Structure formats: C-alpha cells, structure tokens
Amino acid sequence: MPEVSFDVPKELLPVISKIAKRARKLGFDRDQVSIMMDLEATHANGCPMDFGRLLEADDFNLLHDVGGIARHLNRETGELEDYFLPRFRDRDAPVKRTEIDFLATKPGNPTQPYTLELRGHVNREDMPEAIAARGYGFVRLLAVRRMETGKADIYE
C-alpha cells in the first residue's frame, strides 16, 4: 500500500498554518498539527486545494471544509471518501476520484432496473451498502471509472 503524501510547496505551509489556527479559534476540536496534516494530505493525494480562498472564506465555509476533510479523509490513502469534495478545492485541477456505475433497482419499484452512478471513493465490498443507503437495491456492478486516468473497468 502506498504511503500518504504530505508533499505540499513550502510557501503554502504558512497559509495552511493560519487556516488551522483560525479553525481552532472557531472551536474546531482538533489540534493544529492534525488539522494541518489533514489539509496537506488532502492537497497532496488527489484533491488540490485553493488555500488562499479557504483562508479568506467566512467562518461557516472554512469550518465546512476543515470539518469535512477531517471527517472524510482516509488516513491510510490520503483520499477523501463518502463523496465529499471541499468547497475550496482548486477547481482548475483534476480531482482524483472514482465514478462507479451499478445496475440497481429504483426505490418503490424493485423490478425495474436502473443504472446508478456513485461518485467518490467507495470500497468494492461497501458498494451494496452505499447503494442501499440511497434507497436503491443492488443488482450488479457495471463499470468503475478512474477519473484521473479516464480508464474504465467494465463488468458483465
């Protein structure tokens, strides 16, 4: 398993530190180093951030992104899970994520097949539960597309 990268340009570290300090002042209940590490891991592992915009964000939106990252960051891969994308990600940079197509059944009509697309990072063994959480019935996996490469694995 690859290690989580914390490789961010040195000039971003003072901005990341200010974001972490501000989040702490606003009552976010994690230490400053942990907040900084989460932000660095997010940036370096597939979801580049616009830290300048995040620092200038209002309190609510800053806490949304810092809290969402803390909650949805997989600390073994450095990737965001559960379909969370920060509001202050770098919108010009590609986000490393996966789109998954399933054959499922619609809520209220278990006999009608429906192609359902999930976006984010879902472990293969968690797919039926992720679909059920949205009210659909899992039938079978159709395709997994890796958005950073554009490659698709098609299942029949």
Give the pLDDT confidence of 14-28 residue by residue, as tens digits: 999 999 999 999 999
Q: Is the pLDDT of residue 148 over 60?
A: no
Q: Which residue has the higher pLDDT, 142 or 16?
A: 16
Q: Which residues contact 103 (CB under 8 A, 6 or more apart)?
A: 113, 114, 115, 116, 139, 140, 141, 142
Domain coordinates in residue numbering, the chain: 1-94, 98-154
Tally Cβ neighbours within 10 Å of residue 12: 15
Provide, rounded to the nearest whole percent, the portion of the chain with pLDDT above 70.
58
CA distances from 97 to 11, 79, 147, 149, 154 (A): 26, 8, 6, 10, 17
Mean pLDDT, residues 63-89 taken together: 89
Give CA–CA dist 46/80, Å, rounded: 8
> Encoding tokens for residue 6?
């914390």
Predicted TM-score (pTM) of this structure: 0.66
> Encoding tokens for residue 146?
């890796």
Q: Is the pLDDT of residue 58 over 70?
A: yes
Mean pLDDT, residues 43-65 taken together: 95
Mean pLDDT, residues 64-87 taken together: 89
